[in-house]
Chain A
Amino acid sequence: MAMTLHVDIVSAEEEIHSGSAAVVYAPARMGEVGIYPRHAPFLTHLKPGEIRVQTPEGKELFFFVSGGLLEVQPHVVTVLADTAIRAKDLDEAAALEAQKKAEQEMRDRKSEMDYAKAKAEFAQAAAQLRAIQKLRKRGRG
């Protein structure tokens, strides 16, 4: 039997996913990481993006997170998400809108504070869009 990982994705408001996986990819602060079974204990901070979970059956699941923490133990991966909504629930129009608003704010940046906030919003909107587009492609193919 191939080795598997147990994955838990939870947010403060609800439990989002719990199941086994062959590989987990997550958007860590320092770049994307791929976690295979028997990974060394690892703790990092996530940036907005998607978490990909490859199940042992070869299916791929997507979860969008807007930040959070990733905890890895040899056979358990825990994602403590800030707000993780299932990728299929994402509203593309809202994401586009948010992106536009963030871009707008970036153009007429008033202060460093606003700029930092806008940049964060932009990153989040862009990641949501990427997740949606990926889902679309898979849906068609």
Chain B
Amino acid sequence: MAGAKEIRTKIKSIQNTQKITKAMEMVAASKMRKAQERMREARPYAQKMRNVVAHIARAHTEYKHPFTIEREPRRVGFIIASTDRGLCGGLNVNMFRTIVSAMEEWRGQGIEIDLAIIGAKALGFFKRLGGNIVSEATHLGDSPALTDLIGAIKIMLDAYEDDRLDRLFLVHNDFINTMTQRPAVVQILPLPPSEEVELRHHWDYIYEPDSKQVLDVLLTRYIESLIYRGVVENIACEQAARMVAMKAASDNAGQLIDELQLVYNKARQAAITQEISEIVGGAAAV
């Protein structure tokens, strides 16, 4: 009979795969919760920083930091936050598509592009595609430390300060909810002017050692925190996408098993029927 045993082996193998995808789904679900928690924890810092930056920008109109000056773009930089691992659905692919179309647009205007890459997936992709990769940070794990990112970020910030870059973008996935993640391209530099709020009474900080130095440090930290937030958000997206992808995989495996079980039962029945008719036939012949 056409391979009752073969079908059984196949079912077994699909069951094993299903076990793996189920385990991955559950791991991703718990990691996603943790990543969301980290996103929440990073919020107060960014918020405080934004308040201070906004205040200084308003109180200090005579000093223009290079980060706030708009220049004619000749060369732009992208910081790309991708994942280190695969099996997370179309998350990375969607993002790469967004980046590539954005890059095409800049290239069409004759503008060169530098890339700073976070995450092994983007590194592999842009190596194959042939982008100009100036810095990279990979294998950050599930809870990245800011210190792991500083190197990659600093290269881009230095380039901006030396006039080698005129725009800097951050690309990461926006965590909308567990089911939806959307690639987002955010302009980091020059810093977009903050919404003007009318100053009720004019006051300024006492700066130590002086306003320029404090402002330099502050703006660098601010940008680092923006990028850190993007990276953490991307991790939450990765886990959410993986959870959904693995759930779909487990469901598909279940369906496949049901279908194969049916085929297996039919084959088994056919074999038994055949055996009985052979025995009956043999007895009649005696």
Chain B interface SS verdict (over half):
helix
A30: nearest chain-B partner, CB-CB:
B208
Instruction: Tell me the bound Cα distance from A72 to B205 in angstroms.
Output: 8
Given known pairs A69-B214, A69-B217, the reply for A10 and B48 (CB within 8 Å) is yes
Do the beta carbons of A45 and B44 come within 8 Å of each other?
A: no
What is the bound-complex CA distance between A103 and B117, given in angstroms?
Answer: 35
For chain B, residues 44 to 62, give those with C-beta under 8 angstroms from any C-beta of chain A.
Answer: 44-46, 48-49, 52, 56
Does A60 sit at the interface, judged by CB under 8 A?
Answer: no
Contact A29 B225 (CB under 8 A): no
Q: Is the CB of B206 within 8 A of A29?
A: no
Q: Which of A8, A44, A83 contacts B208 (CB 8 A)?
A: A44
Q: Which residues of B contact A44 (CB under 8 A)?
A: 207-209, 214
Indicate if the CB atoms of B145 and A43 lie closer than 8 Å. no
Q: When A41-B206, A42-B206 are in contact, do A69 and B218 touch as well, CB less than 8 Å?
A: yes
Write the B18-57 contact mask toward A (1 if CB under 8 angstroms, else 0).
0000000000000000000010011011101100100010
Interface check A102, CB cutoff 8 A: no
Q: How far is the CA of A96 from the CA of B267 in the complex (A)?
A: 73
A117 to B250 alpha-carbon distance, docked (Å): 51
Nearest-neighbour CB distance to chain B for A34, whole angstroms, equals 14
Choose among B56, B146, B206, B207 the residue that contacts A12 (Cβ–Cβ < 8 A). Answer: B146
Evaluate whether A29 and B146 lie within 8 angstroms (CB atoms) in the complex, with A12-B225, A43-B214 already known. no
CB within 8 Å of A: which of B132-170?
A: 145-147
Q: Contact residue range for chain B?
A: 20 to 34
CB atoms of A29 and B208 under 8 A apart: yes
Interface bits B198-230 vs A (CB < 8 Å: 1, else 0): 000001111111000110011001001100100
Main secondary structure of the interface of A (DSSP, over half): strand
Chain A residues near B49: list those with CB within 8 A: 80
**Measured between C-beta atoms, what is the minimum distance from B238 to chain A in Å?**
18
Q: Is the CB of B206 within 8 A of A80?
A: no
Name the residue of chain B whose CB is nearest to the CB of A68.
B221
Across the interface, do B52 and A43 meet the contact criterion of CB distance under 8 Å? yes
Chain B positions within 8 Å of A4 at CB level: none
State in angstroms the CA–CA spacing of A69 and B228 once bound together: 18
Residue A71, interface by CB 8 Å: yes
B207 neighbours in A (Cβ, 8 Å): 43-44
The residues of A with any CB-CB pair to B shorter than 8 Å are 8, 10-15, 28-30, 40-45, 68-69, 71-72, 78, 80, 82-83
Interface residues of B (CB under 8 A from A): 38, 41-42, 44-46, 48-49, 52, 56, 145-147, 203-209, 213-214, 217-218, 221, 224-225, 228
